[in-house]
Every structure is written in structure tokens, then in C-alpha cells.
Structure 1
Amino acid sequence: MTGNPFRGAGYLLRGLQMLPEPSLRMFVLIPLLINIVLFSGAIWLLIDQFENWVGYWLAKLPDWLSFLEWLLWPLFAVLVLIVVYYTFTLVANFIAAPFNGLLAEKVEMKLRGQVNSASGWQAALKMIPQALARELAKLRYYLPRFLFILLLTFIPLVNLASPLLWFLFGSWMMAIQYCDYPMDNNRVSFGNMKSLLKSHRLTALGFGGLVQLGMLVPVLNLILMPAAVVGATVYWVEEYAGEADQLMDLR
């Protein structure tokens, strides 16, 4: 694999540094509020229902396996956390998609002075159906892989590798999720976007990996969505935008 994971992680840090800039504040606000509301809801739901959910799955064990309850409790607890984490991340990104696209556009305008799409709030409203369709494309890509790794988690011995698989999968999906906003703005197709990230996979994994870890840090996770959008746009501009004319797919 080619690329540099440290360079990829650096793009998120630069995104965090750019959040307070006055020209971006208005466009950061809506994704920020969406993230705060949904992740606050996820935390409340976990606190309120965590024991019930884990208890429900443990109750499904046959009596002759009850002696394994002490061993399986941590596994079911981790699975509950994973499912809630990924579900709320998907919902947050789906709702915020049009606003994240607009934020990515404003960052690219600031960095390059141009973007290969119509601009402004009216244009953003018109792009809502396209943004949601793009989120559905990500969901179709994401779900089979999520379910496959979830299945591996229940297979003895194989499940020893599941923590690493979950981390790599989450890192890759975070890279796809956030790098897609600036690339979609520049009319790069979903397939071409994946090919671009795969061409320097370690850089993409470094970026997505730090996003994923940041999502686990209380308070920091509330501002990670807009920071990741800004960082991904810097990533696009510095790594790929020079080739935009060749990569553009006029759908």
C-alpha cells in the first residue's frame, strides 16, 4: 500500500485549526449543531438502555452455555457500542450531507478561489436530492462490509482479528465519508472517488483513523464532523484537485 498515514492524519488536525476562521463559522454551525444533538441523543440512549440491550442478548444463550456469560458479556457490550456508534454516525452524516457539501465548497473557495460546482445557499438546496443519493450510495457500499465483519466477530479464533478489522473498516469508511464531500462538489463519481483514495490508501487510512479515534473522545467528538469536512477538503485540494479536469465525471 502506498501513501503516508501521518500526512493523512495531519489533514484532520489542519481542519481543526481552520474551524474558528471567521469566513467559515456560519457554514460550520449547522453541521456542528446536528452533531451535538445526535451524539447527545446517542449518549443518553446508551446510558438508558445499555444494560437492557446486553441483557437481552445474553438471555438468548441456551442454558448449557450459561457458564460462558462472564466471557460473552464484554463481547456483547462491545457489539452494542459498535452498532450504536456506527448507526448514529450514519444518521448524522445523512442529515448533515447538504450542509457538509456547502462547508466543503466554502473551504475549497478559500483555498483555491474556485470549485467546479454552483455555489451559494440556493445551489445547496437544489443539490439536496443529489447529496442524499450520494449518501445512499455510501450506505450500499458500507452495509455488506459492516455485516460481514459483524459475522466474523462471532466466529471463534477468527474473531481475535475483529478489533483490527473494525478499526481498519471504520478508518476506511471515515475517509470515504468525508472525502466524498469535496469530490462530489467537483463532480468526481463515487467509483472514481474510491479509486483515488485507494491509490494512496495509507494516507486515506491515516486521515480516517484519526477521525474515528477523535469520535470516541467526549466533547471533541462534537466538533469532529465539521473538522473532518474541512480537513478532507484540504486533503482533496492538496492531493487531487490539480487533476480535477481529468477526474470530473459529468453525470
Structure 2
Amino acid sequence: MKCVKPLLLATTIAMSFNNFASDLDKVIDSSKKINQSAMKSQDKIDKIADSMQARLQQFKTLNKEIDGLEVYNQQITKQISNQIIEMDDLNTSMDQVSVIERQITPLMLRMITGLEQFIELDIPFLTQERTERINKLKSMMDKADITSSEKFRRILESYQVEVDYGRTIEAYTQLLTVDGMEREVDYLRIGRLDFIYLTRDGKKAGIWDKETQSFIALPDSNISQISKGLRIARKQLAPNMISLPVQATE
């Protein structure tokens, strides 16, 4: 009977230890759950932090883009303002062009008429070619697909051709009625000073007389100089002095 108390005590201690161990396991399990919960919370916090960082970076990037767009919009606004000014200037210019075009058409017609009259009064060299040039100008004026600037350019070009005739020497062959008979002659034009012909056989020569508006015969003494002038004009002979009669200009 004396051994019952120690045994009871040992049993009590064992039971208490087991209870303690069980409680300890529960505490450990609870601690693990808490740690796991804390880790999950930390993961969530880390993800939220990463998301916030990404959004912050995106926000900064958007701010930079907004700043760039503001600068771009300011520049575009300036360009639009300048374009509006240019459009106003262009509209004004177009109005002026319309006025000028209405004024320049009669001017071009007068220029063509003046050129035609000049050719009629001039010495009769290259008559067909020069007349055709005038006819082309007249026909051109009726065409709507040619701009006024191009028409004006062609008229000025024709004037320039006539100006150039006054400082060039030229020889060409054509038919002419001589002594009542149509014959082939060589024409020699020296600027607008002289317009001379020489028959192909080299026997007859004449010079255009502005007063009578016809050719008058030249003496045979001029034929050699005329022949020389024809060769110079055709670049068959080097330029040299020639002696020819000259009709006084008015």
C-alpha cells in the first residue's frame, strides 16, 4: 500500500506531461499557421508593393508623355496659326492673280498684234516662218489648257527671236521672182541692215529697198562680195571684212 502514492504521482506527472506536450503541439501548429499566414500576407504585401511600384513608374512615364504632348501641341498650335496666316496671304494672292490675269490677257493680245505689225513693216526675210509663229501665238491664246504664265513666256520668246535677228547674219535659199521669172536665189541677211539676194548662177543680185518695198538690182561689182558674205554666213569661210551697200535705217 505504501507504493500507491508514488505510482499515482508518476501517473499524474505523465498525464500532465502529455497534456503539456499536446498543448505544445497545438501552440507549434498555431505558430506554423501564423507563420504561414504571415508569409502569405507578406507575399500579398510584396505583390501590392510591386504593383504600386509598377503603377508609379507608369504614372511617371505618362507624365513625361503628357509633358511631351503639351510641347507638341504648343508647336502644332504655332504651325496652325502660321498656316492660317499663309492661307490668308494665299487667298489674297489668288485674288490679285485673278486681277492680274484679267489685265495681262489684253496686254498679251496687244503684244501679239504689235509683233505682227512689226513683221509686216520689217524687211521680208523668212516671211513664212515668222508668220507661222504669229499664227501659233494667236491660236495659243484661245487654248484653256495653257496657263497665262506659259502664254506670256512664249510671247516673250517670240520677241526675243525677233531681237536676235537684228544681230545675226544668215543665208538661206528660196524662190523669188526676178525679171518676171521665178528663180531660186540665195538670200543674205545681215542683221536688219541688209537683205540681199544672189541668183544661183551668180549673175544677178539685188537688195531690198525699204522706200519702194521691193528689191532693186545691184551692179555686178557687188557679186563677189555677196558671194563672200554668203559663204561667211554658212560658216564656209572665216569671218572677214566685206564691202556691201547698206540701206539706211529709219
Task: Provide the TM-score with structure 2 as the length reference.
Answer: 0.28
Structure with more strand by fraction: 2
Q: Answer 1 or 2: higher relative contact order, Cα 8 Å, separation at least 6.
A: 1
Structure with more helix by fraction: 1
